[in-house]
Structure 1
């Protein structure tokens, strides 16, 4: 399916949001708009920023923390069986991530789960495997990481990862493991943000890492090039809500890294309302640009449209999928 034509700022804006709030907050570095003026490769800009961005650590409960600042939010479980990471961030963040991981304890890195294939969640696979991590993911994630994969909206061809960095253990539906006394359940959604998205639930701690099926307080990207779907994003939100209660800590792929069921519900309701608004415009015969001009996201822009996936870009993404 062809990617939507996007305004220059919106197209590039999404790419830069992959490094999260730490990118925008980094001092002594280019702002997104300054970076555009440098006319450098977008993924290179993201990686350059990740190379110097600080890592913020949020300690949750039951020896689980979340690290913010290298691509997607990274969950870490520590204990005598070694450290388990959910997502790998961007490889050039290794010095900062290594320091943050060491501060959580001296255990070796033994396990890594990729929530999906995008580089801001899996680029660190190679060094984490070299450090001792066994890598687990959905079978579609391994497929995308094993070949050249183009993302039109990023104007970038991602090379296949080295064999050692490709997940060696994969599953088709769901998978369970026990580590450091924690019962860990991974759940496959079907097509959502991509066609390989999974969540990771830490049962005893009641902590859910939703990967990029949930973007906290910002409009999400949906990667149609590798099987994403607006309806799938909504279905994944419903599945996440079904797993959560009022005490659940929810870790989003992007946005404020410590969230909850109420914020997840707001995200899901926003997706449904905008899908329906855009779908109705499309049924009326409105073109994509006419749908954007009708401002079908207006009721949500103050809450979700203040980051780099702007309302027009998100309308175009939804239009493509309804």
Structure 2
């Protein structure tokens, strides 16, 4: 299967007065056409910064190195004009807070038609027609009327649908969804996920799904990439990872999920301690101070992400859990 996105040795850091913050420590992964890659980890694990680097949306003090190939073309380091021909048109992103991502002073019509006018060269009327059609596809009722409304006139779930519609206007090959169901109630979350599944089926696009919600990963993803302290600690199919986690951090994340069939053996667990300071990472394994299995090799040698079964890899010194 052809890879839509290939990332090799991506590192991202931010210059601060206290020193460099190593947000992403050198990651390799790919996403295939029609596939959903789940990216999971605690806040500050580097999930979003990977894709902000790819999209060229880092803060001014941020820098990224490595290789990012989109449909075989190197895009990391492209100038803004060249990058704008890719993002929005071929690669789009849904941000986690639609209220701050949508401009409150502009109507939804203005914000949506602007995308089509810029990237597709459509007239205002053509752009408005396609925008209304896309609002209908994300299940917003009375789309033509609502197109002229402002963001504050929509509920949280409807604003998220507007964001999805805007991201899909140009039929992107890759959709990056950063916490697409954050701050939505459970019923609305389910509706949004169903919309994404249906649109992926209709458009055949690849999805990078960034979330801390393992329930969303289980429902949506084909493969999973677990992040910790800016690095990938485990990769594999969603089935393998949930059935047989092979990194202590992945195991801890799964044990911290509430279960309806909870017993004494499956009671809710927590991962002790805090993630490390990215300005001063510990020697050896970054997870060692929180790991129940840590032994003498862990503080001395940094574990590399190594294949251990077909389609699976982990960064851990333990042969198995």
Q: TM-score range by the shorter chain?
A: 0.3 to 0.5
Point out the structure with the larger strand share: 2
In our comparison, the structure showing a higher alpha carbon Rg is 2
Higher relative contact order at CA 8 Å, sep ≥6: structure 1 or structure 2? 2
Point out the structure with the larger helix share: 1
